[in-house]
Amino acid sequence: MTLIIKNKWALVTGSSRGVGQQIALGLAQKGVNLVLHSSNVDNQQTTKDLLKDYDIKIHSVAGDLADPKSIQASIEQAENLSGGIDILYNNAAIMTQFIDIFEAPIEDYHQSFQVNVFAIIQICNFFAPKMLKRGFGRIINTTSGIKELPSLDAYSISKAALDKYTHDLAFQLAGSGVLANLFDPGWCRTDLGGPDAFNDVKSVLPGALIPAMLGKIGDEEPRAMLFAAQNYAGIDM
């Protein structure tokens, strides 16, 4: 069952471009109010221009996901501006350099885990308890289907760790009305994915909306599920 999410508030990290920008557009089409996030609010102007025709409220926050203090300031601001985040879309990520697995500097692993895992845990630890008090929330963590590419090991194992964290978070939240699930946009032509990727970035819709609109399936709450955007490409929602 899908929910009507009009007038809910969503925080979309990394929403100044690429997949995050498409997620923001898709949520706006459903009437969701938005808190846009990027490392610098000036970077969000293109997204704001694309959103100008939608009858929604929009706020901006800036936060460096490599810096826990910056993260904390941005999520507190997002909560205060919105009055309460209902949909948390942890989309922002970094991809480390292509390099032989035996030559990858340990700093690549530290950097990848900070942005792709530790930052998300910090953000979820802030918003999930507030969602629990309200009895509603949708947490979506963007993962990757990358595999068998050891030259991107620092990136890929951070996503594997994120998958495990999301699984554990989802079961912690079981029965609460707050759901945690995973979203895989597929290999898209973005700054992160590069120009040779298989899919246009617009193909992440409508798949990206499904975990945000999830209701119960019978008596069960779908949790720790993986929603792959390319499985829904071309479907009208």
Mean pLDDT of the chain: 93
Position 7 scores a pLDDT of 98
CA–CA distance, 141 with 231 (Å, rounded to integer): 17
| Cβ atoms within 10 Å, residue 216 | 12
Closest-CA residue to 101 (of 148, 161, 153): 153
Tokens of 216: 């119960």
pLDDT band at 155 (very low <50, low <70, confident <90, very high): very high
Tell me, what DSSP letter sits at residue 178?
Answer: E
Mean predicted confidence (pLDDT) in 103-113: 98
Domain positions in the chain? 9-195+208-231
pLDDT band at 236 (very low <50, low <70, confident <90, very high): confident
For 47-88, write each residue's pLDDT tens digit.
999 999 999 999 999 999 999 999 999 999 999 999 999 999
What's the pTM value of the predicted model, to 2 decimals? Answer: 0.94
- Please check the confidence at residue 196 and state whether its pLDDT lies above 90: no
Residue linked to tokens 């969000």: 44
**Which residues on neighbouring strands pair with residue 228, listed in sequence order?**
184
First to last CA, the chain: 13
Is pLDDT larger for residue 191 or for residue 49?
49
Position 188 scores a pLDDT of 63
Tokens of 62: 């800036």
Position 226 scores a pLDDT of 95
Tokens of 45: 């102007």
Is pLDDT larger for residue 228 or for residue 55?
55
Residue 120: HSE in the Cβ half-sphere, 13 Å Cα cutoff = 31
| Cβ atoms within 10 Å, residue 117 | 20
pLDDT band at 216 (very low <50, low <70, confident <90, very high): confident
Position 187 scores a pLDDT of 65
CA–CA distance, 162 with 145 (Å, rounded to integer): 12
Tell me, what DSSP letter sits at residue 116?
Answer: I
Q: Given 3.40.50.720, 3.30.465.10, 3.40.50.1950, 3.40.630.30, which CATH number is that of 9-195+208-231?
A: 3.40.50.720
